[in-house]
Amino acid sequence: MRERGIRTEFRGGDYAERFGLKSAEDCATWTELSEFLRVNREVAPYTEEEERETEEKLRELRRGELRGILHMVTSPGTAALVRQAIPERLRSYIQEAYYQVEGRPPVQTVPEFEGNIIHAGKNGEMSEEDAAKLIGLLKDRVGILLGGGPGYPTEASRTPLLRALEAPIQKNASVGGLCLGHQDLGVLSGGELVRGVVDAGPQIEQATEAGKTHQVISRLAGPQGDAAFGAQMFNTAVIIPGETATVLSEGMSTGHKPISVSYTLDRPGQGFGTQGHPEIPAGTPYQKEEVLQEDRVLELEGERIIIPRGTTEGMAWIVKFATDQGWSLFKELGMTPEDVRGLVDRHRAYPTLGRNFIGPMIDWMATRRLKEQR
């Protein structure tokens, strides 16, 4: 059965010292794909009726002169996934803004929101025009969704965004985070960022007792109530939450360290984030369905990296990023050319939660905001 599974380990960077790891076996686990698919089949689907109820909440908040949810895009690769996972009725309530850091690959934009690009320098420099635009885009929001992306919240280039978030947080906006966005919330709430490499494909994570009652995480447990569900991950940091945070789920891919967390920002439970990538739409290989028609050959430190014919375009993009712009970061954290070669494994493209996570996350933002208003 092992050939149908993914071996996951985390190492490099600060992980080994911080978590007392002595060998790869200390932090390795196997996720059997049959089990991964089983637990996600048991996830409660986000229904059309629930979608209509969420839409009515957003409509009521709009009547109260609040603008919809702002999806802050910082990644060259995940915006399309989030966009695809947003339930159709809710899309008119979601706007996008693009946080483009100097020297990073271009973020994905759509024509409707191309005027919402904000430029930040590597050292955190930002023009007065971009700073004003950022503040204006964040103002009067029901909620803010911070997407995934390359980089860390502790980098200087991220500072202008984190500072700009202070105003909407004080105005009680709900804030959700995915991957890097989750790390942003962890740092904002006083958590510790531990760097390293999680070499991870599909992973099964477990809801905590607190998670079993959380509006989003509770629905992932399945009808048997075993509180297990699958998440897709490839990340380079773990957040150790601060004292005011509540852990909602833990994952084997980070040695049972926190994956989903409820954060206290200005108010308890105002933030909610997950280190994984639940936005990957159900039934869709990672990012792009098109497959390569012939082998693609790359080179990394004198070694050939072959992306075989039949690999999805999305997975090929990740491998190219790892051999190009992302290599200096991954190498620093302990990644090897062999790890990059492993990224083309087709099993890593298995689907996860998609709209069954993003829909409830949007509903959580709207529900929480209405509750505070009434």
What's the CA angle centered on 332, arms 331 and 336, to 5 degrees? 25
Q: Are 312 and 287 in contact (CB under 8 A)?
A: yes
Quick: pLDDT tens for 112-162.
999 999 999 999 999 999 999 999 999 999 999 999 988 899 999 999 999
Mean pLDDT in residue range 213-219: 91
pLDDT at 252: 66
pLDDT at 165: 98
Higher pLDDT, 13 or 196: 196
Mean pLDDT in residue range 200-211: 80
- 16 — pLDDT class (breaks 50, 70, 90): confident
- 2 — pLDDT class (breaks 50, 70, 90): very low
Q: Is 14 exposed, middle or buried (0-12, 13-18, 19+ CB in 10 A)?
A: middle
Q: Give which of 96, 144, 82, 149 is closest to 354, Cα–Cα.
A: 82
Higher pLDDT, 22 or 156: 156
Query: Is the model's pLDDT at 349 over the cut of 70?
Result: no
**E strands along the chain, which residues?**
5-11, 29-32, 67-73, 94-101, 117-120, 141-146, 174-178, 192-199, 202-207, 228-232, 235-240, 246-251, 257-263, 271-274, 296-300, 303-307
What's the predicted TM-score (pTM) here?
A: 0.88
Cα(101)–Cα(187) distance, rounded to whole angstroms? 19
For the stretch 105-144, what's the b/e string if a residue is b when 16 or more beta carbons lie within 10 angstroms of its beta carbon?
bebbbeeebeebbbbbeeebebeeebeebbeebbeebbbb
pLDDT at 38: 72
- 223 — pLDDT class (breaks 50, 70, 90): low
CATH number of 48-283+351-373: 3.40.50.880
Quick: pLDDT tens for 30-81.
777 667 767 777 788 899 999 999 999 999 999 999 999 999 999 877 888 8
The proportion of the chain whose per-residue pLDDT surpasses 70, expressed as a percent, equals: 85
Cα(348)–Cα(234) distance, rounded to whole angstroms? 10
Q: Are 174 and 368 in contact (CB under 8 A)?
A: yes
As a residue count, the chain comes to 374
Query: Is the model's pLDDT at 241 over the cut of 50?
Result: yes
DSSP letters spanning 303-348: EEEEE-TT-BHHHHHHHHHHHTTTHHHHHHTT--HHHHHHTT-GGG
- 238 — pLDDT class (breaks 50, 70, 90): confident
Neighbours of 367 (CB within 10 A): 16
pLDDT at 43: 80
Mean of all residue pLDDT scores within the chain: 85
105 Cβ contact partners less than 8 Å away, ≥ 6 residues apart: 76, 150, 321, 325
Task: Please name the amino acid found at residue 40.
Answer: N
Mean pLDDT in residue range 306-334: 81
**DSSP code of 291?**
B
- 101 — pLDDT class (breaks 50, 70, 90): very high
305 Cβ contact partners less than 8 Å away, ≥ 6 residues apart: 297, 298, 299, 319, 323, 337, 340, 341
pLDDT at 142: 98
- 271 — pLDDT class (breaks 50, 70, 90): very high
Max CA separation in the chain (angstroms): 63
β-sheet with 246-251: strand ranges across: 117-120, 94-101, 67-73, 141-146, 174-178, 271-274, 257-263, 246-251, 202-207, 228-232
Q: Give which of 104, 115, 37, 116 is closest to 72, Cα–Cα.
A: 116
Determine the 3-state secondary structure of 297 from DSSP.
Answer: strand
pLDDT at 37: 67
Cα(40)–Cα(37) distance, rounded to whole angstroms? 5
How far, in Å, are 157, 252, 285, 307, 310 from residue 346 at the CA level?
A: 34, 21, 9, 11, 9
Query: Is the model's pLDDT at 283 over the cut of 60?
Result: no
Quick: pLDDT tens for 169-193.
999 999 999 999 999 999 999 999 9
Q: Are 193 and 155 in contact (CB under 8 A)?
A: no
Range with the largest mean pLDDT of 131-135, 222-226, 292-296: 131-135
- 354 — pLDDT class (breaks 50, 70, 90): confident
Q: Are 59 and 67 in contact (CB under 8 A)?
A: no
- 311 — pLDDT class (breaks 50, 70, 90): confident
Mean pLDDT in residue range 324-344: 79
Cα(205)–Cα(221) distance, rounded to whole angstroms? 10
pLDDT at 287: 43
Domain layout of the chain by residue ranges: 48-283+351-373, 296-349
Higher pLDDT, 227 or 145: 145
